[in-house]
């Protein structure tokens, strides 16, 4: 075999390796996109397509619900500052929206985000009736919070993350909406086999470790947890990673 033949064979082998590597990258990217296009929990939000708002006020805003009973402590743990813009993602009946509006003051802003138009309308009407001018409400989609880029300082997701049908897409849209250094606060049910209630085990698709891993993958870093605050739920904070 000549030196020229040997070099030609080495080049051909190298090119095959490069082509195979590119193919693997494309295959991986395609698999990620395809997986994200599939709902992780089809039908999870069917109850919110045409909700009875009064019925849900009774369900969400009751002392028997841990996050309602400890609502003031939860808001305090978010460490909000006057003048900040907060997105209340999955705001529902607006349990936390008004409390956040008080925390950020008249120079701040609270954007209630929900997948249900009836909840959005309810929050708008309630804010108008109370004379709260620092509250807005936005209808989101199944895979996006539908907020402008770098428009919020803090995102709050309470007992809502397990309702995300497309968690990666939704969290990526949130990452785009948060300002550099912005924070995400997640409160959701502890899902532990043999410990959690039958309702939680059947309704909540994933436990805390899975949720945290998904959020980190979407571009956030875990920065804190308040283990002393809640029993049925966990409280974890994340910061948007620098690009």
The CA distance from 65 to 68, in Å, is 5
**Contact 138/90 with Cβ under 8 angstroms?**
no
The reported pLDDT for the residue numbered 16 is: 53
Per residue in 142-160, pLDDT (tens digit) is 999 999 999 999 999 999 9
C-alpha closest to that of 70 among 90, 99, 94: 99
**Average confidence (pLDDT) over 63-82:** 97
The CA distance from 102 to 243, in Å, is 32
Is the pLDDT at 225 greater than 70, yes or no?
yes
- Helix (H), strand (E), coil (C) string for 179-239: EEEEEEEEEEECCCCCCCCHHHHHHCCCCHHHHHHHHHHCCEEEEEECCCCCCCEEEEEEE
The CA distance from 48 to 34, in Å, is 26
Residues in the chain: 243
The reported pLDDT for the residue numbered 32 is: 42
Per residue in 180-192, pLDDT (tens digit) is 999 999 999 999 9
Is the pLDDT at 28 greater than 80, yes or no?
no
Is the pLDDT at 102 greater than 90, yes or no?
yes
Q: What percent of the chain has pLDDT over 70?
A: 84
The reported pLDDT for the residue numbered 37 is: 61
Share the mean pLDDT of the chain. 88
The reported pLDDT for the residue numbered 38 is: 87
C-alpha closest to that of 218 among 163, 160, 178: 178
Q: Could you tell me where the DSSP H helices lie in 46-150?
A: 53-60, 66-69, 71-77, 97-104, 117-130
**Contact 87/152 with Cβ under 8 angstroms?**
yes
pTM across the whole model:
0.84
């Amino acid at each position: 075999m000549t030196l020229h033949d040997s070099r030609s064979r080495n080049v051909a082998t190298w090119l095959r390796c490069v082509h195979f590597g590119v193919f693997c990258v494309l295959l991986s990217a395609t698999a990620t996109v395809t997986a994200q296009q599939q709902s992780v929990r089809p039908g999870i939000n069917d109850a919110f397509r045409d909700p009875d708002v009064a019925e849900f006020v009774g369900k969400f805003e009751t002392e028997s619900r841990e996050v309602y009973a400890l609502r003031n402590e939860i808001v305090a743990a978010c460490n909000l500052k006057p003048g900040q813009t907060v997105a209340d993602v999955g705001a529902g009946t607006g349990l936390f929206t008004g409390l956040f509006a008080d925390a950020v003051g008249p120079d701040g802003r609270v954007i209630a985000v929900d997948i249900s138009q009836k909840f959005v309308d309810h929050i708008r009407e309630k804010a108008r009736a109370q004379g709260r001018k620092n509250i807005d409400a936005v209808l989101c989609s199944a895979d996006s919070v539908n907020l402008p880029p770098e428009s919020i300082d803090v995102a709050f997701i309470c007992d809502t993350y397990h309702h995300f049908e497309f968690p990666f897409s939704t969290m990526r849209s949130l990452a785009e909406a948060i300002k550099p250094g912005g924070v995400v606060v997640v409160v959701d049910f502890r899902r532990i086999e043999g410990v959690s209630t039958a309702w939680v085990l059947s309704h909540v698709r994933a436990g805390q470790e899975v949720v945290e891993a998904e959020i980190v993958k979407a571009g956030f870093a875990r920065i804190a947890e308040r283990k002393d605050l809640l029993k049925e739920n966990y409280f974890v904070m994340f910061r948007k990673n620098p690009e």
